[in-house]
Amino acid sequence: MQGFIQHLADALSLGSLFALTALGISLLFGIMRLVNFAHGDLITIGAYALIVPSSNPNAVMFIGLWPVLDTIIAICAIVVALAILCERLAFKPMRGANPSVLMIASFAVSYFLQNALIMIYGSRPKGVNLWPALAQSVSVGGVRLQLLQIVTIVTTLVLLCGLTLFLRRSAIGRQMRAASENFMMARFLGVRANLVIAAAFAISGFFAAVVSLLYVVQRGTITYDFGVPLVMAAFVATVIGGMGSVLGAVLGGFLVGFANVFFQVVLPMSLRGDRDAFVYGFVILVLLVRPAGLIKVKSVQERV
Amino acid sequence: MPGQSRLFSIGRYLWEPATLCAGLLILTIAADLSQNGVLIFVATNILIQMVMVIGLYVFIGNSGILAFGHITYAMIGAYADAWLTMSPFKKSFALNLPDFLANHSFAVFPSLLVAGLASGILALLTGLPLMRMGGIAISIGTFAVLVIFNTIYQNWGDWTFGSSTLVGIPLYVTEWVALAWVCAALVVATVYQKSRFGLALRSSREDEVAAHSVGIHVRRERIIGFALSGLFMGVGGILQAHFLGSIAVSAFWIPVTFILIAMLMVGGQRSLTGAVVGTLVLSIVMQALRQLEAGLQVASFNLQLPHGLSELGAALLMLVILLLRKNGLTNGREIPWPFPDEARMIEEGRAKALVRLAQPPQPLDRTSRLEAQDVSVQFGGLAAITKVTVSVARGEIFGLIGPNGAGKTTMVNVLTGFQAPTTGQVLLNGTDITRVTPRLRTQQGLARSFQAVRLFKDMTVLDNLEVAGIGTGLTRRAARDRAWDILAWMNFEDKALVRADTLPYGDERRVGLARVLATAPQFAFFDEPAAGMSDRECDDLMQLISDIPGRFGCGVLLIEHNMRVVMGVCQRIQVMDSGRTIAEGTAAEIQTNPAVIRAYLGSKSEKTYA
């Protein structure tokens, strides 16, 4: 029982990170058909912003030493600002381009950001010890769980509820939903494209910042491609969930998280290194059964 | 002179690879003459990357689908080739291979072919599941392939030396070997892109739905292009291994992927010339920036820029190209053939077509019949069609009319397989085809035009028609003959070599109609062919449609709002309103039918409410 609940917590917390990342990608895809590869680098930059810029491999904490709330606010502000900056400089001029062009542009932005990080911080991994208190275990109903996992799962639940409320109740949220149903029609009806897209980038950046903080506590080490595994997992999560569906992205994220932990548990020791190969192979199997993903989105299908 | 004309057509066929190879040959000779070791090294590296970029182009350029996992196939090829060619002594240091591989080493050329083929086969196998998905999902799926094989090779120590660098691969690749493979890749890519397979894949890039509708098996064509593309990536990876003498799994990852894709995008993803030009330009720019990183003596200053600048430069260059020139430096064009011979080609096409058109057409088989029985279609709670029955005989011209929203296009979608009926069935000569896909229905003789026309825009009019011939099972040559026949019959052959996206609107619709005929249908469906046409154009169109059954031996189902056209050409007319049939008969019967008049003009009682 202890073992099962431990695995469940592992799966839920990993799935949470994937789901939050996938949400950041899915929001932008729904509204402007952008598959944003650079989302992973926003996560990376959120982590690097914690330390003093230097190519010295021994990282010196900077924002990471501030009081917890200040750190969170500062990292969120930095990543959101960067997300909006990316939108203004790279994606806004390409608005209306087809999805392939947008995706390739985001690939270029990602390559740019990663190499800029190498330029500033060097390419060697850096140890970052943020909020060590989260590493301790706590006892919940007789089962010992890592505090970080509980924080991750609770944060994700709160953010998911918050996003749902925002999309359903707030004026901007409703406009975003309208825009992802039919962008052109939404504009005809008075939805302001700039506002909606900037809001989507801001929310996407906010999620990236949160993931960044949670993931850096978990990993303890950062590299210039820190966010890449997350963005890869989130990509396949959005495809499994159904491109453009926000709910699908969350489901897909958790599914990939569960698949990860499942293979980690069932694979024999000799094959454990190949876990990712099994996870992504499983993803391809799911897509063989449901090529359009779990939740089919009408506005993505073409009308004859 | 026939001999000269044959020479001309071969020259025209291989013009792009020949000019590109010649240009690269001159550059290679120049590098060689400089006797500058660094320059020769750089040149060889560029040529090897060019093989890979040409490989990327074969899939990305022709299919229009981005692929991020191609470096996997270079890795597969490089390792397979290392297993074959390394000396048993060197293998014994790092690898733990089965006896047969461990104790032998094979000649480099046959090994390259075997290992390259292995890459191609792996691309084929991975392409099978990937291509079941739609456009952008395929691109993301290629990332999954990248992760899978990267993980396996990292952990497959006995065969790959794990995450360590495998050294001791025999060195044999010089600038000349690399150039030879670039030339081979250019020729094969050209032959592919001019073959029926390349044409079919490009049609799906231009309009996937229309490609299905003329019988193209889009998934199969994508898999073929993907496999060929993977094969060239493999060859590139192999050449790289035998040039550097070492390989490491970690090198076959995202940064290289980015550079290769950036090369293709900078040059222009839609042309082979773009692949070559892009590789050259991006390499030269990055090399120049690297020089600056290393430090450059300008007068008495030592100008030195920070390390990493070449990568930032590559990313910026690509963004700027995407922004200002979406189809790259070449704008997606190949090097133009310098001899104006279009008039001669048109003349030839016309002359041959007129000979064939002089033959009497096949006698018309009027026994075929297409029927839809009691078809209903519901979208959610909305009934688009309710219990409608339609029956068309081969050889007749049948009109389906009704006010907007009557369900006419939905009916055509049901008949051609683009919409599954909620209830009811579709029969072709008594056989139930309700569940048959649009593509297979086209091959069984049902073809349609679209209200939105959906031409393959970046292709010539002739190619648009050829795709339809290919989709219905013809060879490239037979498809071309059929295309000329139809164009000559329509007196449209002057526009045969014009790109479809430059046509005026009326011509566009005419090509849409011609493309339907190019599938050699038993039943042709025209969805509003006269929309937006002038009165004179309509007269021509009426003449054309009237002649279709006699010439092509097919039945015609016409949806049209222009009543002059409908009444002028249709032998039988069915009128729909709000998803139901309200009348059926000849033009004269329909025009006096009170229910029809009410549907179109509204009854008196309704008018008072309006």
Q: What is the ipTM of this complex?
A: 0.91
Query: Measured between beta carbons, which residues in chain A are less than 8 angstroms from residue B308?
Result: 115-116, 118-119
What value, to the nearest 5°, has the Cα angle with vertex A101 and ends A283 and B15?
105
Residues of A in contact with B149 (CB under 8 A): 277
> Does the structural domain B369-609 have CATH classification 1.10.3720.10?
no
How many residues would you count in chain B? 610
Question: Is B139 in contact with A103 (Cβ distance < 8 A)?
Answer: yes
Strands A137-140 and A143-146, by their bridges, are antiparallel
Could you tell me if A291 lies within 8 Å of chain B, comparing CB atoms?
yes
Tokens of A134: 């989260």
Containing structural domain, residue A210? 2-131+143-225
Tell me whether residues B141 and A228 touch, CB distance under 8 A: no
Measured between alpha carbons, how far is A19 from A256 in angstroms, rounded to an integer?
Answer: 9
Residues 196-215 of A with CB under 8 A from B: none
Q: Letter for the amino acid at B447? A: A
Q: Is residue A287 part of a domain?
A: no
Q: Indicate the burial class of B156 (C-beta count within 10 angstroms; 0-12, 13-18, 19 or more).
A: middle
Task: Compute the nearest-CA separation of A178 from chain B (Å).
Answer: 20
Q: d(Cα B569, Cα B549) in Å, to the nearest integer? A: 11
Cβ within 8 Å, pair B141-A287? yes
Give the other-Cβ count within 10 Å of B555's Cβ. 26
DSSP element (H, E) containing A277:
helix A275-289
The answer to whether the Cβ–Cβ distance between B319 and A293 falls below 8 Å is no
pLDDT band for position A302 (cuts 50, 70, 90)? low
- The answer to whether A8 contacts chain B (CB < 8 Å) is no
AA letter at B115? A
Residue A3: partners with Cβ closer than 8 Å, 6 or more residues away:
none
Q: What is the pLDDT of residues B191-247, one digit of tens each?
A: 999 999 999 999 999 999 999 999 999 999 999 999 999 999 999 999 999 999 999
3-state helix, strand, coil in chain B (%, to 5): 60, 10, 25
B65 and B127 Cβ atoms separated by less than 8 Å: no
Q: How far is CA B345 from the centre of its chain?
A: 24
A112 touches chain B (CB under 8 A): yes
d(CA A131, nearest CA chain B) in Å: 31
Backbone phi, psi, residue B356, to 5°? -70, -35
Residue A121 lies in a domain: yes
Q: Which residues of A touch B316 (CB under 8 A)?
A: 112
Interchain pair B65, A100: CB under 8 A: yes
Q: What is the DSSP letter of A90?
A: I
Chain B hits for A109, CB-CB cut-off 8 Å, are: 315, 319
Please give the residue of chain B at the shortest CA–CA distance from A99: B136
Residue A122 maps to a domain: yes
* Tokens linked to B600: 């179109």
Query: With a cut of 50, which residues of chain B have pLDDT below it?
Result: 1, 605-610
Query: Among B319, B409, B527, which would you mutate to test the A interface (most chain A Cβ atoms within 10 Å of its Cβ)?
Result: B319
**Overall average pLDDT of the A170-194 stretch:** 86
The answer to whether residue A53 neighbours chain B at the CB level (below 8 Å) is no
Q: Is residue A246 part of a domain?
A: no
Please count the CA atoms within 13 angstroms of the CA of B251 that sit on its side-chain side: 16
Rounded mean pLDDT of A127-151?
Answer: 84
**Could you give the CA distance from residue A265 to residue A11 in angstroms, rounded to a whole number?**
11
Q: Is B453 left (phi over 0), alpha (psi -120 to 50) or beta?
A: left
Cβ contact B144:A280 at 8 Å: yes
pLDDT band at A115 (very low <50, low <70, confident <90, very high): very high
State pLDDT tens for residues A242-287: 888 889 999 999 999 999 999 999 999 888 889 999 999 998 888 8
Q: Is residue A112 part of a domain?
A: yes
Q: What is the pLDDT of residues B555-602, one digit of tens each?
A: 999 999 899 999 999 999 999 998 999 999 999 899 888 888 888 776
Residue range A205-224, pLDDT digits in tens:
999 999 999 999 999 899 99
Contact assessment for residue B230 and residue B124, using Cβ atoms and an 8 Å cutoff:
yes
Cα–Cα distance between B591 and B589 in angstroms, integer?
6
Distance from CA of B229 to the nearest CA of A (A): 19
Indicate yes or no: CB of B306 within 8 angstroms of CB of A284: no
What percent of chain A is modeled with pLDDT above 70? 97
Rounded (10°) angle between helices B505-517 and B461-471: 20
CA distance A50 to chain B (A): 23
**Partner B contacted by A224 (CB < 8 A):** no
Asked if A287's CB is within 8 angstroms of B66's CB, the reply is no
What Rg, from alpha-carbon coordinates, does chain A have?
A: 19
Sort out which chain A residues have CB atoms less than 8 A from B265's CB and list them.
Answer: 104
Mutate to test the interface with B, among A28, A35, A100, A104 (most CBs of B within 10 A): A104
pLDDT of residue B299: 67
Q: Which helix (H) or strand (E) holds B166?
A: strand B166-167
Cα–Cα distance list, A290 to A36, A231, B8 (Å): 23, 22, 50
Separation in Å, CA of B307 to nearest CA in chain A = 7
Q: What is each CA distance from B24 to B31, B192, B240, B253, B270, in whole angstroms?
A: 10, 21, 18, 28, 20
Q: Across residues A134-163, what is the average pLDDT?
A: 87
d(CA A281, nearest CA chain B) in Å: 7
pLDDT tens-digit series, residues B148-167: 999 999 999 899 999 899 99
Q: Could you give the residue ranges of the DSSP H alpha helices within B35-156?
A: 37-63, 71-85, 88-94, 99-102, 108-130, 135-155
Selected residues 74-103 of chain A with any CB under 8 Å from a CB in chain B: 90, 93-94, 97, 99-101, 103
Closest alpha carbon to B57 in B253, B238, B269: B269
B88 CB contacts (<8 Å, ≥6 apart)?
A: B102, B103, B104, B105
With respect to residue A98, please indicate whether it lies within any of the assigned structural domains. Answer: yes
* CA–CA min distance A111, chain B (Å): 6
Q: Would you give the DSSP letter of residue B364? A: P
The structural domain count of chain A equals: 1
Q: Answer yes or no: do B265 and A291 touch at CB < 8 A.
A: no
Contact B554/B394 with Cβ under 8 angstroms? yes
**Distance between CA A116 and CA B468 in Å, rounded?**
50
DSSP 3-state of B98:
coil
Q: Does position A304 have pLDDT exceeding 70, yes or no?
A: no
B340 contacts: CB under 8 Å, gap ≥ 6: none
Percent of chain B with pLDDT over 90: 76
Q: How far away is chain B from the Cα of A275, in angstroms, using its nearest Cα?
A: 8
Residue corresponding to tokens 């450059």: B296
Residue with tokens 């896909």: B437
Kindly give the pairing relationship between strand B555-559 and strand B397-401.
parallel
CATH 3.40.50.300 residue ranges of chain B are 369-609
Residue of A nearest to B418 (CA): A304
Residue with tokens 């495998």: B166
